[in-house]
Amino acid sequence: MAEPFYLTTAISYPNGKPHIGHAYEAIAADVIARFQRLSGRDVRFQTGTDEHGLKMAQKARDLGVSPQQLADEMSQYFIDMCDALNVSYDVFIRTTEPRHHASTQELWRRMEAKGDLYLDRYEGWYSVRDEAYYDESELVAGEGGEKLSPQGTPVEWTVEESWFFRLSNYAEPLLALYRDHPEFLQPDSRRNEIMRFVEGGLRDLSVSRTSFDWGIKVPGSDAHVMYVWVDALTNYLTGLGFPDEGGHFAKWWPADLHLIGKDIVRFHSVYWPAFLMSAGLALPKQVYGHGFLLNRGQKESKSLGNVTDPLALAERFGVDTLRYFLMREVAFGQDGSYSPEAIVTRANAELANSFGNLVQRVCSMIFKNMDGKLVGFTQVDADAALLTQVRDACAVELPREFAALNFSVGIEAWMRGVFACNAYIDEQAPWGLKKTDPERMGAVLLTLFMAIRDLTIAISPVVPTAAGKVLDQLGIPSDERDLSALADAGWYARRVATGEPLGTPVPAFPRLELPAEED
């Protein structure tokens, strides 16, 4: 039976429409999900919206609607974004669902039973925008000398009765976790940062609020709602049917990967494992904090007026193009930048001119000169060398790098396979062989046909629609489009035996133009 792979994204605050950072995370997670399926894993991919907390309550108040109305309306934009970007999630969770209340309250009861929760008074700094508490020592000064959180957001002095979680008891077990399982928190730079933070000692964490009620009620303490992060993190369990620990939970927990952005690493690598240890539940295998996507090097913000609607980008450049650009351009884990020019340059050079053009040329030549027919042929050394090189790129290098979430490195290896095909076609010049040696022309084109099939399967997690089009045209059956198919020596003979000719060549990777005003 296929080994399970449970993958989650952060759940987004639906207090506004999705921005490019949300799209980036959803796309990266989808590439991982599709790649793991391609590798034969049984994947469960969960995403969703984080609908409680002060941030949502305040936004709803500003708009004059109830928080539930706001959540209902805005979460749909996140679902639509996933659908528009071809994100193949299995579960979309909303934290206002009744099942999520039940699951979070059960986690709470377990932490309480462990003796890790107590009632006290909270006095300290709270940032609504980050939904986080900060120590005085962590604050920074703003331009006018005002106190700001380390993320640069306003903080307010808060005093209220609160439940506390004994986080201070977990510093040692957490440090042991980071030391013994360096893979738990990646990339390494983020692990080092978190280790320094935990080595400084942990204070107990305020985990309930009484000043507002938009949240999950604390069991047996009705005046309190839970701190939104206790609620939010528990979504990863709810989606599996927790507190029922059989069925889905037994199959999929612990998660293989929580994919999140760098600003919420502390919640996922300090608070979350501590809650799970307290509740006696297994810890996720990996938390990965990706970098931030910047617009021409700048953070998008309403005040700078540079907020981009990711769906407008996808519509303008194509979903596959946007997906390819983001995975190719940004060294995963680090921050990256995008601009219309960069998208067009990358897409035209690599997808349209190098790969798309190769596919188009080869398929047209087979279609025109050989009636689209595939036949057996005799290989010479140059043919075998090309196929070995392409096979290495597609079945060894790209999978190795994608498994380690080094997408841009994996795609570079893939591009080397594409370049090798282009060098081969120039050297072999099949167009010149039509009259002199048609048999050799056939061998060259059929070798390229084999290489293109490998290249298309390997890149399919990144550009699923275009890859599907090409594989349809090549006549590759839908159950032979995974990585194990690459190692199957008999596929070509089977494909020939079908007697099916190639379809009419269709362009799968259009050349893009940059609108004049942006030249």
- Footprint of ligand ME8 on this chain (CB under 6 A)? 10-13, 21-22, 24-25, 50, 232-233, 235, 260-261, 263-264, 292-293
Whole-number minimum distance, CB 108 to ligand ME8, in Å? 16
Which CB, 10 or 411, lies closer to ligand ME8?
10
Whole-number minimum distance, CB 193 to ligand ME8, in Å? 15
With a CB cutoff of 8 Å and minimum separation 6, the contacts of 334 are 291
Which CB, 24 or 253, lies closer to ligand ME8?
24
Whole-number minimum distance, CB 238 to ligand ME8, in Å? 11
Whole-number minimum distance, CB 204 to ligand ME8, in Å? 21
Residues 15 and 59 sit within 8 Å (Cβ to Cβ): yes
Which CB, 239 or 356, lies closer to ligand ME8?
239
End-to-end CA distance of the chain: 53
Whole-number minimum distance, CB 218 to ligand ME8, in Å? 19
- Among candidates 277, 339, 256, which has minimal Cα distance to 7? 256
Q: What is the rounded CA–CA span in Å between residue 256 and residue 283?
A: 10
Which CB, 286 or 473, lies closer to ligand ME8?
286
Q: What is the rounded CA–CA span in Å between residue 21 and residue 261?
A: 9
19: DSSP letter: -
According to DSSP, the β-strands at 208-209 and 185-186 are unpaired
Which CB, 131 or 350, lies closer to ligand ME8?
131
Whole-number minimum distance, CB 354 to ligand ME8, in Å? 28
- Among candidates 366, 421, 362, 411, which has minimal Cα distance to 390? 421
Neighbours of 58 (CB within 10 A): 16
With a CB cutoff of 8 Å and minimum separation 6, the contacts of 489 are none
In sequence order, what DSSP letters do the residues of 208-259 get, joined into one string? Answer: EESS---SPEETTEEEEEE-HHHHHHTHHHHTTTTT--SHHHHHHPSPSEEE
Structure tokens at 372: 């689209």
Sign of CA dihedral 305, 308, 312, 313: positive
Position with the least CB separation from ligand ME8 = 261
Whole-number minimum distance, CB 194 to ligand ME8, in Å? 15
Residues 167 and 126 sit within 8 Å (Cβ to Cβ): no
Which CB, 339 or 379, lies closer to ligand ME8?
339
Which CB, 279 or 293, lies closer to ligand ME8?
293
Chain mean position to CA 515: 29
Which CB, 164 or 275, lies closer to ligand ME8?
275
Whole-number minimum distance, CB 19 to ligand ME8, in Å? 7
Whole-number minimum distance, CB 232 to ligand ME8, in Å? 4
Which CB, 94 or 495, lies closer to ligand ME8?
94
